[in-house]
Amino acid sequence: MTTHLETAAQYAEEHKVFQLFESLLQDLCVQKPDKPIEHLIKALKRDNVPRLIVAGPPGAQARSLCELLAAKSSLVHVIASDVWRELARLNVPCGMAAKALVDAGKEIPTKLMLELLKEKLEMGECVSHGYVLEGFPADAAAAREMLAMGLLPTRFLHIGLDDAEVVRRLSGRRVDPKENLVYHLEDSPPPNAEVAGRLIHRADDTKERVTERLAKYRKDMAAVLPCFSKVLVEIADTKAGEGGVSKLLDAALPHITSEMPTRAPRGCPRVLLLGGPGAESEALGAALASTYSVTLISALDLLHAAAINGSKAAEKAMKQAEPLLAADAILGTLVVNRIKQDDVRTSGFVLVGYPQTSMQAAFLKKQGVWLRHVVHLQLAPKAAEAAVTGRRVDPVDGEVYHVDLSPPEDAATAERLVTHPRDEKPEVKRQLKSWNANKGQLLKGYADRLVTEDASRPERQLVERLAGCFLTL
Answer whether the bond into residue 355 is a cis peptide, omega within 30°: yes
Contacts of 409 (CB under 8 A, 6+ apart): none
Could you give the CA distance from residue 236 to residue 271 in angstroms, rounded to a whole number?
27
Contacts of 165 (CB under 8 A, 6+ apart): 59, 237, 239
* pLDDT recorded at residue 9: 67
**CATH for 348:** 3.40.50.300
User: Do 347 and 295 touch, CB atoms closer than 8 A?
Assistant: yes
Q: Is residue 199 included in any domain, yes or no? A: no
Q: Is residue 235 included in any domain, yes or no? A: no
Nearest to 48 by CA among 156, 134, 128: 128
* pLDDT recorded at residue 117: 94
Q: What is the mean pLDDT of each run of 10 residues along the chain (473 residues)?
A: 60 74 74 84 78 92 92 92 94 95 93 94 88 93 90 91 91 92 90 92 92 94 91 76 73 80 70 93 94 94 94 90 85 93 89 94 91 92 89 87 86 88 88 90 90 90 89 60
Domain that holds residue 11: 1-39
* pLDDT recorded at residue 102: 94
Whole-prediction pTM: 0.59
Q: Is residue 82 included in any domain, yes or no? A: no
Q: Is residue 32 included in any domain, yes or no? A: yes
Could you give the CA distance from residue 244 to residue 415 in angstroms, rounded to a whole number?
44
Q: Is residue 118 included in any domain, yes or no? A: no
Could you give the CA distance from residue 394 to residue 300 in angstroms, rounded to a whole number?
21
Contacts of 15 (CB under 8 A, 6+ apart): none
* pLDDT recorded at residue 473: 45
Q: Is 303 exposed, middle or buried (0-12, 13-18, 19+ CB in 10 A)?
A: buried
Q: Is residue 71 included in any domain, yes or no? A: no
Count of domains observed in the chain: 2
Q: Is residue 378 included in any domain, yes or no? A: yes
Q: Is residue 160 included in any domain, yes or no? A: no
* pLDDT recorded at residue 24: 78
Nearest to 155 by CA among 121, 189, 132: 132
